[in-house]
Amino acid sequence: MFGLKANRHLTRELEITPPTAEAGRNGIAIVACVKNESNYVEEWVRFHKAVGVRHFHLYDDASSDGTFDVLRRILTEEELTVVPWNLRMRDEESGELLNGQTVAFAHAILNFGGKYDRMAFIDVDEFLLPKKGRTLQEALRGSGGFPNISLPWHMFGHSGHVSRPAGPVCLAYTMRVADPLRQHLDASNFKCIVDPVEVTKVAVHHFQTRSHGDKTANDGGKSVTRKQRKAPAFYSAEFIQLNHYYAKSVQELKEKTERGWSFDGAVDKYRNKVATTIRYIEENVVEDRSMLEFISQYEIELNQDTATRL
């Protein structure tokens, strides 16, 4: 069961009763809300399958561009669960649009979490890059089994691309924000990998567990409270790096901004946020080729027809 936190952050945080671990639970699942990602989703799925993700629980926000036709072509029924998620509800008293992403994450844990050792909660423009080992399972050993791992965004900008470049996204973009934990509200945040049978509170960017409360660990096992995550001493990408291909090309960012965010009714606020975020990223970039090096080393296949060679 889950309950709403009754304040101005309506449904941005949900308290839940953790699910029961199923016999033989194993592996890592990814949970994501998806809407019209047919141009990008194949690369994202193939990469994460290659690094050991067992199952994808995808919440379909009324996609109309064939996204899930692509997914069903490359994933079996044992690898893909699709949940219709055209969630547009408002709180009657406040008029606030409910946060459909948080509700989806809570739903996934409660209904599917008992099957897995870990669940990762990311978006289709985010890639979980193992920095030590070939798979996420190997890379997660660095955290020492902590049930709530926070991975800082490594936000990538345009990398000089005005229009969409040919080839995979994760090979085309190599310029990212220099300091992932610098105090810029919209360019500094986290996504999480958790033990689902431990989770007692759910949000998009943070979780709580019954064994450690609001404490979370970085990929190297250093644990702090949620409010301490942005301290420089917490930063680590030694074992796993979360690459967030936020901007892509100038044209693609323009199209993204015009579409708006699925679970936010404040269109102007969203557009202003995107504009200030990309400006901040582009003014503070460093080159990061760790994804290219990983794909080259392990010859990861990112599309249907060819194995990528650098």
pLDDT at residue 65 above 60? Answer: yes
> Would you list the DSSP string of 9-33?
TTTTSEEEPPPPPPTT--SEEEEEE
Domains annotated on the chain, with CATH: 2-297 (3.90.550)
Reported residue count of the chain is: 310
Which one, of 253, 58, 74, 274, lies nearest residue 173 by Cα? 253
What is residue 306's predicted lDDT score, i.e. its pLDDT? 41
Least confident of 34-38, 155-159, 181-185: 181-185
> Would you list the DSSP string of 158-186?
-TT-SSPPSS-HHHH--EEES-TTSS-TT
Question: For the residues 221-250, what does the mean pLDDT come to?
Answer: 96
What is residue 6's predicted lDDT score, i.e. its pLDDT? 38
pLDDT at residue 3 above 80? Answer: no
Query: Taking the CB of residue 34, how many other CB atoms lie within 10 A of it?
Result: 23
Question: Is the Cα torsion angle 108, 114, 115, 116 positive or negative in sign?
Answer: positive
pLDDT in tens, 78-125: 999 999 998 777 777 877 778 889 999 999 999 999 999 999 999 999
What is residue 305's predicted lDDT score, i.e. its pLDDT? 52
- 5 versus 200: the higher-pLDDT residue is 200
Share the mean pLDDT of the chain. Answer: 91
| Structure-block tokens of residue 37 | 């990602």
pLDDT at residue 310 above 80? Answer: no
Sequence-separated (6 or more) residues with CB below 8 Å from residue 117: 25, 26, 27, 28, 195
Percent of the chain residues past pLDDT 90, beyond the cut: 78
What is residue 307's predicted lDDT score, i.e. its pLDDT? 41
pLDDT at residue 187 above 80? Answer: no
What is residue 136's predicted lDDT score, i.e. its pLDDT? 98
Question: For the residues 35-54, what does the mean pLDDT come to?
Answer: 97
Question: Is the Cα torsion angle 278, 205, 237, 116 positive or negative in sign?
Answer: negative
Cα distances (angstroms) measured from residue 223 to each of 118, 146, 171, 188, 216? 18, 8, 32, 19, 5
pLDDT at residue 182 above 90? Answer: no
Which one, of 308, 136, 84, 117, lies nearest residue 195 by Cα? 117
- 196 versus 182: the higher-pLDDT residue is 196
pLDDT at residue 18 above 60? Answer: yes
The DSSP H or E segment spanning 191 is strand 190-194
Q: Are strands 118-121 and 223-225 parallel, antiparallel or unpaired?
A: unpaired
pLDDT in tens, 247-301: 999 999 999 888 766 555 567 888 888 988 999 999 999 999 999 999 999 999 8
The DSSP H or E segment spanning 150 is strand 148-155
Unique residue bearing structure tokens 């639970």: 25
Compute the distance between CA of residue 280 and CA of residue 258 in angstroms, rounded to an integer.
Answer: 20
What is residue 265's predicted lDDT score, i.e. its pLDDT? 57
Least confident of 5-19, 156-170, 234-248: 5-19
